[in-house]
Structure 1
């Protein structure tokens, strides 16, 4: 979703900048000489008579800056936790790297029968993470068996490693193309 929003915002910014550049070029300002003003005296008087237009312009620019800052913050924000806090049982906590947990779960998923490739992403917060697993299955794989293996030992090992009583899981399964068969 964020990728789509980025593309739309970049396209809109490109269109606005293209329109502004075209407006400057067609306003005959560059062709009137290097020392000619961008706005003629009559145009400046027109904008001076309508004082409300400046307030609208300032409010519009302020809104654009506010939206740009929100967009920038959305880009910087981490979508997944860098660490998971693990209760060691003695009143202290240990930090388990999120990437390490993702890689361990992905290795166990790849070892399941019928899984061609897996991609694991940790989402949520430090204290309450969730797993998102995308599995690419072989054509012969039985999805029910793969899900049983995923919900059984794989998820149990992840919960044990992170010392979490609850670890939500979202799984997406896709079957790889078998490809055309050759006829002899």
Structure 2
């Protein structure tokens, strides 16, 4: 994700959360028995008042500027939210991995599916799941292998490393590919239950 976009997202979320927390805290602390224990400088509404009574709202609606301002404010808020939503990057399959040439990219989901299929075709592997989160200059492969009962982890790991993982690293060269492999073994009892 773009660092500027990340900073803007975090700032907007923090400001929105702070405003909601401050408003909710003020409302919660200003009423009931808690209001008697607050310091004298705490801004509290008078007893029995509401934030916006019906008479004040009727006066605002009678003003000629009220309706256009409310409609324009609502439309602006909606457009800002839609712009913010559309500016976010897509998740999952839309991430692109850089290839050897600058204009060339590859969908991370396509490469992950290809590596998983090649890993499942390897001797001793029952199932494989591969995730390839994309980075600008470096990529990571998270591989989870479920081995067949009786398969030796060492030789299976070597076959997968020298086969599908080396092919994936070569396809992304000159950008490095770091891999993290998690191995699990399916027991014969689990295999019968499936």
TM-score, length-scaled by structure 1? 0.54
Structure 2: segments with no counterpart, 5+ residues: 1-27, 45-87
Would the aligned equivalents of 1:47 and 1:53 in 2 still touch at CA under 8 Å? Answer: no
Cα distance in 1 for residues equivalent to 2:41 and 2:119: 66
Cα distance in 2 for residues equivalent to 1:103 and 1:80: 10
Is 1:109 equivalent to 2:119 in the alignment? Answer: yes
Greater share of helix residues, 1 or 2? 2
Moved over 4 A (4+): 76-81
Distance apart, 1:159 and its partner CA? 1.6
Q: CA RMSD in A?
A: 3.4
Cα distance in 2 for residues equivalent to 1:142 and 1:53: 71
Q: CA offsets per residue over residues 110-168 of structure 1, 9 Å max, x none?
A: 01101010000013513211100000000121111111112112122102222345211
Cα distance in 1 for residues equivalent to 2:126 and 2:43: 62
Would the aligned equivalents of 2:92 and 2:109 in 1 still touch at CA under 8 Å? Answer: no
Q: 1:134 aligns with which of 144, 151, 159?
A: 144
Corresponding residue number in structure 1 for 2:176: 166
User: Matched residue pairs, number?
Assistant: 119
Distance apart, 1:107 and its partner CA? 0.8
Is 1:82 equivalent to 2:92 in the alignment? Answer: no
Residue 177 of structure 2 aligns to a residue whose secondary structure is coil
Structure 1: segments with no counterpart, 5+ residues: 1-23, 25-37, 55-75
Residue 128 of structure 2 aligns to a residue whose secondary structure is strand
Is 1:50 equivalent to 2:40 in the alignment? Answer: yes
TM-score, length-scaled by structure 2? 0.51
